[in-house]
Chains A and B, each alone.
Chain A
């Protein structure tokens, strides 16, 4: 039989904690939240209880997934510890709502808080570049959501530069990885044109990461415009509310992001045809006008020429009529004495020879009397 161990109070507490550490390095308790208190905006004290028992819990405010209230069912991972002065407490490592009702209630509380801060305001929404050239994609590479998204993008559009950061989209590590991926894209030297966060359908717990405060705030804070699609049409995460644009599913995200090249090609074809018709019409009108002007121009220059020709012909005819030699044809004669044409017999001098010109020749004569 062994002797009783005698220890001091401090030694007992140390011994007890060693034993608890060894026996329960980490344990998950599911229970109802009660007596929830926040001390100096830093420390959180609350009880987890069920019908028969109550456990005191301790956490830091940064460990909270969002606002909580008494009555919620919580799933708390932590470690039991006996504090030297305050007695037993369960030190929280991770805490999240459990059960559909509590998850929804917690999400509603967080939504109300973030909405009050304006994170979901329409005035914050930016237009996504359409289509973008580069896409920063945050999702799980193994997921069907990723495969669907990439397949539909490739079917609709080409030449896209897609950068994936592979993250867990559910589980404890998911929120931290998603936030880190969003921040990494935003900090890149060359940021993508749009940031896409997608995840396929799942249970409310599976989708919970996208309604955590940290992921929602990261989406809201993104400098790069965001498109978020989580789960199915009926699922609405807080990250989607904070995003610049929401898509109902990952496939729908791909459809919203880029146009369908066949539709674009058809629209371009229609536009080209319309343009050509309009161009032809303009050309035809111009051609007709030019032709009319050409005819007018030709007519104008011909009119000028004809007018001058007519005037000239008229002058030539008049000139012919006024020809001095035409008179000779009628039997008249021109009498020259020296170089002077005589108009009167008084100009004649006896014995001085004159030249008499008729129509067909001339002769000399000597006036006597």
Chain B
């Protein structure tokens, strides 16, 4: 959870959008595209982890209020 708090989700989301836009641009050269692609995968992993943490946190909060749903 502590790690999840450090992540600025909207900022990472914006960066992923920019990365995708860069990859879609035909003028982007192959090396830059490779770097961007790698960064994009990393961002997706981070964002997935963040969302997974968020989902877990929702479960924890619900459980602490006696809601098993």
Contact = CB atoms under 8 A, between A and B. Distances in A.
Interface string A295-328: 0001001100100110110011011001111000
Given A319-B40, A322-B23, A341 B31 contact: yes
B29 A341 contact: yes
A294 interface: yes
Contact of A298 (B9, B29, B41, B69): B69
Given A305-B51, A309-B51, A343 B40 contact: no
Nearest to B20: A318
A294 B44 contact: no
Contact of A319 (B29, B30, B34, B41): B41
A312 B33 contact: no
A312 B51 contact: yes
Contacts of A322: 20, 23-24, 33, 37
A294 B44 CA distance: 31
Majority SS at the chain B contact face = helix
Contacts of B60: none
Nearest to A334: B30
Interface residues of B, number: 26
A308 B53 CA distance: 13
B23 A312 contact: no
B7 interface: no
Interface string B23-58: 110000111011001001100100110010011001
Contact of B37 (A309, A319, A343): A319
A305 B41 CA distance: 20
Contact of A312 (B29, B34, B44, B58): B44
Contacts of A301: 58
Contacts of B34: 324-325
A312 B48 contact: yes
Interface string A236-273: 00000000000000000000000000000000000000
Contacts of B24: 322
Majority SS at the chain A contact face = helix
B30 A341 contact: yes
A302 B57 CA distance: 12
B21 to A, nearest CB: 10
Contacts of A309: 51
Contacts of B54: 305, 308
Contacts of B55: 305
A325 B17 CA distance: 20
Contact of B44 (A316, A325, A340, A343): A316
Contacts of A319: 16, 19-20, 23, 37, 40-41, 44
Q: Residue among B30, B51, B54 with the most chain A CB within 10 A?
A: B30
A15 B54 CA distance: 128
Interface of B: 9, 13, 16-17, 19-20, 23-24, 29-31, 33-34, 37, 40-41, 44, 47-48, 51, 54-55, 58, 62, 67, 69
20 contacts: A294-B67, A298-B62, A298-B69, A305-B58, A308-B47, A315-B17, A315-B20, A316-B44, A319-B16, A319-B41, A322-B23, A322-B24, A322-B33, A324-B37, A325-B34, A325-B37, A334-B30, A339-B31, A341-B29, A343-B29
List 9 tightest A-B contacts by C-beta distance, closest first: A322-B23, A341-B30, A319-B40, A316-B44, A324-B33, A312-B47, A341-B31, A324-B34, A301-B58
